[in-house]
Amino acid sequence: RQLNEQANRLAHHLIGLGVQPDDRVAICVERGLSMVVGLLAILKAGGAYVPVDPDYPAERVRHMLSDSAPVAVLVHGATRHVPEAGPVIDLDRPVWGEAPASNPVVAGLTPRHLAYVIYTSGSTGLPKGVMNAHAGVVNRLSWMQDAYGLGADDVVLQKTPFSFDVSVWEFLWPLQTGARLVMARPGGHRDPEYLREVIAREHVTTLHFVPSMLDVFLASTASELPQVVRVICSGEALPGSLVKRFHAQLPTVELHNLYGPTEAAVDVSAWHCVTAPDNTPIGKPIANTTLYVLDEQRQPVPQGVAGELYIGGVQVARGYLNRAELTAERFIDDPFMPGGRLYRTGDLARHRPDGNLEYLGRNDDQVKLRGLRVELGEIQAGLTAIAGIKEAVVLAKEQRLVAYYTGHPQTVETLRTSLLAHLPEFMVPALFMHLEALPLSPNGKLDRKALPAPGALEERPYECPEGETETLLAALWCELLGVEQVGRNDNFFELGGHSLLAVTLTSRLREKGLEADVRALFDQPTLAGYAAITDRMEIVL
| DSSP character string of 261-307 | -GGGTS-SEEEE-SS--SB---BEE-TTEEEEEE-TTS-BPPTT--E
Tell me, what's the pLDDT at 229?
Answer: 97
Residues 6+ apart with CB under 8 A from 201: none
What residue ranges of the chain have pLDDT lower than 70?
85-86, 222-223, 441-445, 455-460, 536-541
Domains and CATH numbers, the chain: 1-109 (3.40.50.980), 133-364 (3.40.50.12780), 368-434 (3.30.300.30), 468-538 (1.10.1200.10)
> Which of 49, 25, 47, 38 is CA-nearest to residue 96?
38
Residues 6+ apart with CB under 8 A from 316: 136, 263, 264, 331, 341, 342, 343
**Cα(63)–Cα(5) distance, rounded to whole angstroms?**
33
3-state helix, strand, coil in the chain (%, to 5): 35, 25, 45
Tell whether pTM > 0.85. Answer: no
**Cα(286)–Cα(274) distance, rounded to whole angstroms?**
18
Residues, the chain, total?
A: 541
pLDDT digits (tens, 9 = 90+) for 387-423: 999 888 999 887 789 999 999 999 988 999 999 988 8
> Which of 426, 140, 396 is CA-nearest to residue 262?
140
pLDDT digits (tens, 9 = 90+) for 376-387: 888 988 898 899
Burial of 129-139, coded b for 16+ CB within 10 Å and e otherwise, reads bbbbbbbbbbb
Report which secondary-structure segment, H or E, holds 379. helix 376-384
Question: For the chain, how long is the longest CA-to-CA vector?
Answer: 73
Tell me, what's the pLDDT at 441?
Answer: 65
A 10 A CB-CB count for 60 gives 20
Tell me, what's the pLDDT at 541?
Answer: 36
- Residue 486 · residue 480 · CB < 8 Å: no
Tell me, what's the pLDDT at 536?
Answer: 65
Residues 6+ apart with CB under 8 A from 462: 485, 487
DSSP letter (8 states) at residue 185: P
Tell me, what's the pLDDT at 538?
Answer: 41
